Structures are given as structure tokens and as C-alpha cells.
């Protein structure tokens, strides 16, 4: 192999990463006075002291604009029965106004951020750090409120470009 590195094909990279099953979550915030939301599959715990989590958001996401403006933000981990709302909130070009009109939601007790009703778990966050990363931005949030609901519902998962469930 030559010392010159060939670029990695983004399509093959996406295909290879599609072999990694992930949970599906919705990130919410406020943008210009409106609730905004986005389906993500890039969520990870970072630290227990302080309690931190990380999401990767596309650099043009309205949710990111709210986060960068200093708004609180939320994460809702979805159940398999919430597949339709995950698909809706993953559609590019959704209108800014009333994104959550067809999504049952409630307000977080600590920050008032919109959270998906009946999600497996919800987190209310304040931004701890923001790191540009290519065409995305890594947002680290300090968890200031959470709920983990006792439920027998299967989790919604993303695998090989599709949505499924995990019991």
C-alpha cells in the first residue's frame, strides 16, 4: 500500500456505520420562540461527574440554532410505537412553526423544554460544550433533569438505514 492515503468514500462509510445498531431519540429546543425538534441516532453518555451526555447535530439544524442561542434542550429516547413521529421529525424541510403539533409532548419540570410524551427516558439539558465536527456539531449537555419511565415497551432502534425494535 502506498504512503498516500486514499480518501474514504462517504457512501461506504455510511454503509459500514449502518452496521452499528443505535437507539433513536428526539432532541428538542426553542428557535425564535418556536419549539423545534430533530430525530437523532447519535447520542451517548459522557460523564457521571458532572452528568453529561452528547448529541451530534447537523450544522444547519434548527435545534442547533436554539442550542447555540443559549436555550435549554431536551432528549427523548423513543419507544418502537413512536416510529411515525421519529420519521416525521427526521424529514428535512419540515416547517418551522408547529413541528410538535402532531407529536404528543409535555414540558420538562426543570427547564420547560418540550419532551416527547411516553418516551422511554427524557433528559433536560443545559449546554456544557459545543465542538464543530465536519458537517455536524457535537453538543455536550449537562443533565439538569431526567425521567426514566418503567415500561415494558420495546425501544426504537436504527440499523442498516431502517427502524426496528429491540425488546
Show the 3-state SS of 100-144: CCCCCEEECCCCCCEEECCCCEEEEEEEEEEEEECCEEEEEEEEE
pLDDT of residue 3: 60
Q: Per the structure, how many domains does the chain have?
A: 1
Q: Would you call 67 exposed, middle or buried from its count of C-beta atoms within 10 A (0-12, 13-18, 19+)?
A: buried
Q: Decide if 16 is inside a domain.
A: no
Q: Which CATH number is 148's domain given?
A: 2.30.110.10
**Structural domain contains residue 1:** no
What is the predicted pLDDT for the residue at 1? Answer: 46
> Would 91 be classed as within a structural domain?
yes
* pLDDT given for residue 136 in this prediction: 96
Does residue 11 lie within any of the structural domains?
no
Q: How confident is the model at residue 5, as a pLDDT?
A: 78
The CA distances from residue 138 to 23, 53, 112, 135, 145, in Å, are 17, 10, 23, 10, 20
167 in a structural domain: no
Q: What is the pTM of this model?
A: 0.93
- Per the structure, the complete domain to which residue 146 belongs is given by 23-158
Residue 150 is predicted with a pLDDT of 84
Task: For residue 37, tell me if it sits in a domain.
Answer: yes
The pLDDT, as a whole number, for residue 69 is 95
The verdict on residue 164 lying in a domain is no
Residues of the chain with pLDDT under 50: 1
Amino acid at each position: 500500500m502506498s504512503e498516500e492515503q486514499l480518501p474514504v468514500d462517504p457512501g461506504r462509510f455510511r454503509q459500514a456505520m449502518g452496521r452499528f445498531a443505535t437507539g433513536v431519540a428526539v432532541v428538542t429546543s426553542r428557535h425564535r420562540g418556536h419549539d423545534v425538534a430533530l430525530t437523532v441516532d447519535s447520542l451517548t453518555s459522557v460523564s457521571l461527574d458532572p452528568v453529561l451526555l452528547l448529541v451530534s447535530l447537523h450544522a444547519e439544524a434548527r435545534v442547533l440554532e436554539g442550542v447555540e442561542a443559549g436555550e435549554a434542550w431536551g432528549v427523548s429516547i423513543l419507544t418502537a410505537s413512536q416510529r411515525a413521529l421519529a420519521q416525521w421529525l427526521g424529514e428535512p424541510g419540515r416547517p418551522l412553526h408547529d413541528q410538535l403539533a402532531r407529536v404528543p409532548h409535555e414540558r420538562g419540570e426543570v427547564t420547560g423544554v418540550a419532551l416527547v410524551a411516553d418516551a422511554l427516558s427524557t433528559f433536560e439539558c443545559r449546554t456544557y460544550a459545543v465542538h464543530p465536527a465536519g458537517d455536524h456539531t457535537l453538543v455536550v449537555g449537562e443533565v439538569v433533569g431526567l425521567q426514566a419511565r418503567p415500561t415494558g415497551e420495546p425501544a426504537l432502534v436504527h440499523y442498516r438505514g431502517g427502524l426496528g425494535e429491540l425488546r
